[in-house]
Amino acid sequence: MNPVRYKTNWMGPLSKEWYENNNLPLWSYSAGRIDFLNNIHPDEEYLDSMSVPPMLREDWDRFSAWLGAFETDFPWELDQIVELYERKNPKITWWKEKDYIDKEGMI
């Protein structure tokens, strides 16, 4: 079985207006998606993806670096990945606490 690898992809929905409307310093939060990378079919960039709601920018950077070395036998849910990450890394500061559990929307 080929392992599933993961990669963050910064996408928003954060715009300058979003920061202003929420009284936040510009670019202080990041959001996007996690791509499940595909080792089976090299011509396809990724198997699937999941949304990642806004978190502090420095948490996004640290989480992204950690995620680049993370592999599983099958795709994990975001809450599983975050739980494992936070066992040995600083707790992620989400824009809305536990927002990552909402699978329908990021904000």
The model's pLDDT over 17-49, given as tens digits with 9 standing for 90+, comes to 989 998 999 989 999 999 988 666 655 556 788
Domains of the chain: total: 1
pLDDT band at residue 1, thresholds of 50, 70 and 90? Answer: low
Mean of pLDDT values over 72-78: 91
Q: Is residue 107 part of a domain?
A: no
Q: Is residue 106 part of a domain?
A: no
Which residues contact residue 2 at a Cβ distance below 8 angstroms, ignoring those fewer than 6 apart? 39, 40
Domain housing 22: 4-101
Please classify residue 18 by burial: count the beta carbons closer than 10 Å to its beta carbon, then call 0-12 exposed, 13-18 middle and 19+ buried: middle
Q: Which two tokens stand for residue 84?
A: 């494992």
Q: Which two tokens stand for residue 80?
A: 């599983």
The structure's pTM equals 0.82
